[in-house]
Amino acid sequence: SYVLTQPPSLSVAPGMTATLTCGRDNIESKSVLWYQQKPGRAPVLVVFDDSVRPSGIPERISGSNSGNTATLTISRVDAGDEADYYCQVWDNRGDHPVFGSGTKVTVL
């Protein structure tokens, strides 16, 4: 079955760039989505189809997907970016979504 590997935590200083990864063999063959979840809130879709931002998501959030790693990049990080971030792909064979275990981003 699918396993998406995300580092459990990432710390970044304000104004710097956060680079979050989501790993799986040949993940580039899949369309990857990313969700941001702040404490006590529902997740929010921030990237779909590897690199497309939904309306209202700032340009400093971007996604890419190559080889065995999909990446979510958050530029000019501020306190409002502190959250858990989950990657997700669709398992076509089983017809169901698969989520990574999430990365907790802490802004120092």
Q: Where are the beta strands (DSSP E) in the chain?
A: 9-12, 18-23, 33-37, 44-47, 61-66, 69-74, 83-91, 96-99, 103-107
Q: Is 85 in the site for another protein (CB under 8 A)?
A: no
When binding is defined by CB under 8 A, the residue of 14, 15, 67, 97 that contacts another protein is: 97
With CB under 8 A as the rule, give the number of residues binding another protein.
Answer: 24
Q: Is 64 in the site for another protein (CB under 8 A)?
A: no
- β partners of residue 89: 98
Strand order across the 69-74 sheet: 18-23, 69-74, 61-66
Only one of the segments 20-28, 62-70, 71-79, 98-106 lies at the binding site for another protein (rule: CB under 8 A); that segment is 98-106
Q: Which parts of this chain interact with another protein (CB under 8 A)?
A: 31, 33, 35, 37, 41-45, 48-49, 54, 84, 86, 88, 90, 94-97, 99-102
